[in-house]
Amino acid sequence: MNDERDLEALLGSRFPLIALETHEEKRALGLIERIARGKNWPLFSWSVDEGIHGAGWPQAGALQTQEPAAALRHIQRVGPAGVYVLLDFHPYFEAPVNVRVMKAIALDYERVARTLVLVGFDVPVPPELEKLAVRFRLSLPDPDAVKGIIRDEVQAWQAQRSLEVKGERASFDQLVRHLAGLTESDVRRLVRHALEDGLIDASDVGLLVSRKHELLGKDSVLSFEIDTARFSEVAGLATLKRWLDRRRGAFLGDEKSRDAAVEVPKGIMLLGVQGCGKSLAAKAVAGSWGVPLLRLDFGALYNKFLGETERNLREALKVADAMAPCVLWMDEIEKGVATNDSNTDGGESRRILGTLLTWMAERKSRVFIVATSNDIEALPPELVRKGRLDEIFFVDLPDEAARAEILRIHLTRRRQDPAGFDAPALVAASAGFSGAEIEQAIVAALYESLAAGAPLATRLVLAEMKATKPLSVVMAERIAWLRAWADQRTVKAD
């Protein structure tokens, strides 16, 4: 996307109001200034601390226009044709007089062509002005733009120090890939940090991933997951593994898939019993495909941003598009899109669903969705029908072979030799256990062994398993119903 070209087209399209939403105020002002200079348009700006400023505007007038209503009245009465940038004006829409005067300025556009550009992170336009306004959002840098930023920063570093930046090609490519999804200002800051020693290598990439995680972590709705598993760490799920392996090339766009003109995979939904590996499988998709993993927490989206949910969802999806190719893990999706007849949330869940479905239908980027859910009854039919995602997989309790593999994985992870345990006895004792319950039995047994000052042994793990009431017993009726529902409607993951 060419932001300068698109914004110039909007400014020239005779819209009296433009709502420009961005975190990067300085970048937005730079774009507007270049456009106005190139078109020879008068440009003025307003902020509550400085009033109105601009070439041709009386300096004394700035002091008289710090108050929002006074600023709008000045523009209405004496302001010439041109572009007026209003910074962080949205809080002042609470005063009806400001809405009224702004509307009057907009309706007078044919006589005096004054374009008001409202700049801020969030610019909610009052209903009275909606028909007179158009929205614009600065895009995040694509890979080509990121490369351009890196080149600019490298040239600036070399010119300042009269030294040459050294680096590895592989590290440069990784740097470009991991910088996707960040704003231009964040990209520049991270590149400058990486260039401090004049060398771009693997250590810079590792530090960048950590810093990027911190930047995205400021918004608890969307997080960048560093610890992505591989399918070697996931027991069972043979059908799911085979399905994903067949589609890896098509998603990553290899030559064979391009020649065959196959469609890019959209994503999957994982339903099933709690603790049976849905979350681990979501991480493993990204790990095995070698792409970034973003986690969208619908529970946090709804609870933290009540009243702002749709905008924050759009922002999160925009970041995912910019980071493509990537995996977008929608964890416990029913918490965000569950709908019912009671409409107790004022219809917000329905609007969230609409925003999500529109993005799913229109997206062109290589964003592979992995949605996980524990409650199929709470999901709306529009989401689970065929076509929204490629397939729905049911993750059941692990069978004997999977339980044996789970035991091996967790014993090995805790520096225990699986050969020193009675695997058949442990597999039999863990019938009906989820993977998480098997892991916790081993953890609890390890605590007991440490307390007793003895090595971990089969009898300790068996004792913990015997003392555990697994979910398959506690919620037997619920799991039986879930299996019956999934039998003819989903594909078994294993």
pLDDT tens digit sequence for 337-382: 766 544 555 677 788 888 888 898 888 888 999 998 887 777 888 8
Quick one: pLDDT at residue 226?
65
Length of the chain, please?
494
Quick one: pLDDT at residue 426?
96
What pLDDT, in 10s, does the model give residues 187-217?
Answer: 888 888 888 888 887 677 666 666 665 655 5
Domains 3-137 and 400-474 share a fold: no
Sequence-separated (6 or more) residues with CB below 8 Å from residue 21: 120, 121, 122, 123, 135, 136, 137, 138
Quick one: pLDDT at residue 345?
59
pLDDT at 468 over 60: yes
Quick one: pLDDT at residue 342?
46
CATH architecture under which domain 231-395 falls: 3-Layer(aba) Sandwich (3.40)
Quick one: pLDDT at residue 104?
96
What percentage of the chain exceeds 90 in pLDDT?
Answer: 36
Contact between residue 69 and residue 95 where contact means Cβ atoms under 8 Å apart: yes
Q: Decide yes or no: CATH 3.40.50.300 for domain 3-137.
A: yes
Average of per-residue pLDDT across 40-60: 82
Quick one: pLDDT at residue 14?
84
Quick one: pLDDT at residue 427?
95
Does the predicted model carry a pTM greater than 0.85? no
- The domain ranges of the chain are 3-137, 143-218, 231-395, 400-474
Of 364, 353, 216, 366, the residue nearest 294 (C-alpha): 216
What pLDDT, in 10s, does the model give residues 117-165?
Answer: 999 988 889 999 999 999 998 888 877 888 888 888 888 888 888 888 8
At the topology level, CATH places domain 400-474 in Helicase, Ruva Protein; domain 3 (1.10.8)
What pLDDT, in 10s, does the model give residues 279-326?
Answer: 888 888 888 888 888 888 776 676 555 557 777 788 788 878 877 788
What is the spatial distance between Cα 117 and Cα 137, in angstroms, rounded to a whole number? Answer: 12
Higher pLDDT, 184 or 440: 440
Quick one: pLDDT at residue 332?
83
Of 154, 78, 156, 87, the residue nearest 117 (C-alpha): 87
